[in-house]
Amino acid sequence: VQRSAVDQARRVAAEQERIVDGVRNVLSTLIVLKSVRMQESARCNGLFAAILPTFEGFESLVATRADGTPVCAAHANDSNASGTAPSVGDRPFFKEATKERALAVGGYARAFGSGVPVMHIAVPYFDYGNHLRGVVYVGYSLNTLAKHLSQSQQVKGETLSVVDRNGILLVRQPGGNN
């Protein structure tokens, strides 16, 4: 039983790492684009709206200024909210990304506009002088995360729970997702 639990934990950790690495790759590409780096809202909004639907699990895609106010945004299930987003300057994922100057993964949240359960994955971006300009982040669907984890060879009779750093349940398999 113990070996089975350890094996399952390793499979889940590897799948989560694969997902976060994929999101990191997308965000790392976006932060070098001129429209993002120079905070050109109109061009950035158009770009984000065009690419958001091509990535499974992306509920929102937002670029902010260094204080957390949005520069541009796109949302999967709410076309009326595209181009808008709330300030995230007080959110732990934003603070971590800007303080550590590195990728940050947030805990349980609800996507702006749609209310879909998400976790935020963020990377900071900098101007050409290496001064912090802001953060680009994704609201990644916890339903999509649950779907991917359910495909990871779960042993019959086992229950899988994934919690965030605050102890909030993100995924429960089988059933009970969000």
Give tens-digit pLDDT for 128-153. 889 999 999 999 998 888 887 776 65
Predicted local distance difference test score (pLDDT) of residue 169: 67
Q: Do the strands 169-173 and 70-75 form a parallel or antiparallel pair, or are they unpaired?
A: unpaired
How far apart CA 96 and CA 57 sit, in angstroms, is: 22
Mean pLDDT across 26-48: 94
Q: What angle do CA 71, 75, 77 make, to 5 degrees?
A: 160
| pLDDT > 90 in the chain, percent | 53
Residue 86's pLDDT band, with cuts at 50, 70 and 90, is confident
Structure tokens at 169: 């349940």
* pLDDT exceeds cutoff 70 at 34: yes
147 closest CA partner among 24, 51, 53, 16: 16
Residue 16's pLDDT band, with cuts at 50, 70 and 90, is confident
SS3 at position 4 = helix
Predicted local distance difference test score (pLDDT) of residue 177: 47
pTM of the model: 0.85
Structure tokens at 121: 């994955």
Mean pLDDT across 2-8: 74
